Amino acid sequence: MNGDKRPEPESFLDLDPDRAAQPQRGRLKIYLGAAAGVGKTYRMLEEAHELRTRGSDIVVGFVETHGRAETAARVTGLEVVPRQAREYRGVILDEMDLDAIFARRPQWVIVDELPHTNAAGSHHEKRYQDVEALLAAGINVITAMNIQHVESLNPTVRRITGIDVRETVPDSILARADQVINVDLSVEGLRERLREGRIYPAERVDQALKNFFKPSNLTSLREMALREVARGLDRQRIGLESLKREGGRRTVFVDRLMVGLSSNAHDSAALLRKASRIAGQLNVEWFAVHVETPAESVARISTGNFVSLLDNINLAGDLGAETVWLKSDDVVRAMVDFARERGITKIVIGRTRQPFWRRWLCKPVQVRLLDAAPDLDIEIAAAEDRTEQS
């Protein structure tokens, strides 16, 4: 990025999802699994047949059978929207034809492989963005994904499996889903499917059994999927109880969480993911707050830090935070004032990376924040292991 052409930071902060909400928004149902092969696509197609039998107008927008005969058989009898061929580096790729689905305008559409990255030239970079466009147009979507693709779980998945998952889906997509269904299969049952060649080709089976599909990995991923669905059910329960108590009006959040977003973005992505998980567990609204001081103004920070900061601002929005950019010569005072103004009860911050001599000359932000806000719950997150970073 050329330092003379930096965009105004405020232009990146209009990330409020409610701003783009449509009154007739479609419903979103997500089939979630611990790993490939548990049966998510098959279950989606089963539901498609059930809806069609009941008279619903449903089409298949995109389904990936991965060569599985039983899955391909369940497509038979359903209306399939033809895919769109796109050329990328001399290779022809078949992508979901979003324009054709809009033109057809069904009541329901099946969209497989939610974390997929679209080919260059598509309307959107990611398939989950295609799904958001369909929902905004009032079309109901049934889709599927695996737990390792949840954005905030990325570091945990990397630590458990040793694999860096590149394609992720923002937590905000799952949080806004009307229903998340766990497609579960026992660890040994899934490994048996793999041995039978029902998940990957024969030449990939042995390697998969020794790596990603190890029993310890699958057990952890299965537990993560179950917890994610349980959190979704808890959010729905709390939401329904609030609506009932308030006579159909949504209750405003009582508790709120805030995370500090530094321009020196060493561990900011990991910190945002941690804050997202905490906010999800507590079912609270949360904010990612950056305080621009004169010493760290946009004009003075390095290009690398500026780019990282903007990346983390976008990540915060994807994770469901409201992102706020404040300007002040006192970081602590700005954060405390904002917290009290917005009714924030919990602040999550990272550990200081200042050299010892600087910490000796003046108190780190974390210590000053603890002193300035004894009435707030402040959590100092552990530093992420360097080996886990992408």
- pLDDT at res. 356: 46
Superfamily of domain 19-243: P-loop containing nucleotide triphosphate hydrolases (3.40.50.300)
pLDDT digits (tens, 9 = 90+) for 335-348: 999 998 888 999 99
* Mean pLDDT confidence for 285-293: 90
In this prediction, residue 249 carries a pLDDT of: 54
Count the Cβ atoms, other than its own, within 10 Å of residue 134. 24
pLDDT above 70: residue 300? yes
- The residues of the chain that CATH labels 3.40.50.300 are 19-243
Q: Residue 239: its pLDDT value, please? A: 54
Return the CATH architecture of domain 253-388.
3-Layer(aba) Sandwich (3.40)
**Rounded Cα distance, 218 and 127, in Å:** 26
* 146: phi then psi, degrees, rounded to nearest 5: -100, 155
Q: How far is CA 18 from the centre of its chain?
A: 17
Strands in 285-292's sheet, in edge-to-edge order, are 322-327, 285-292, 256-260, 346-349, 377-380
Within the chain, all domains assigned CATH 3.40.50.620 are found at: 253-388
Q: Taking the model in full, what pTM does it have? A: 0.67
What pLDDT score does 366 carry? 78
69, pLDDT greater than 70: yes
- Listed residue (113, 109, 110, 171) closest to 144, CA to CA: 113
pLDDT at 31 over 60: yes
Going from the C-alpha of 148 to that of each of 106, 145, 235, the distances in angstroms are 30, 9, 21
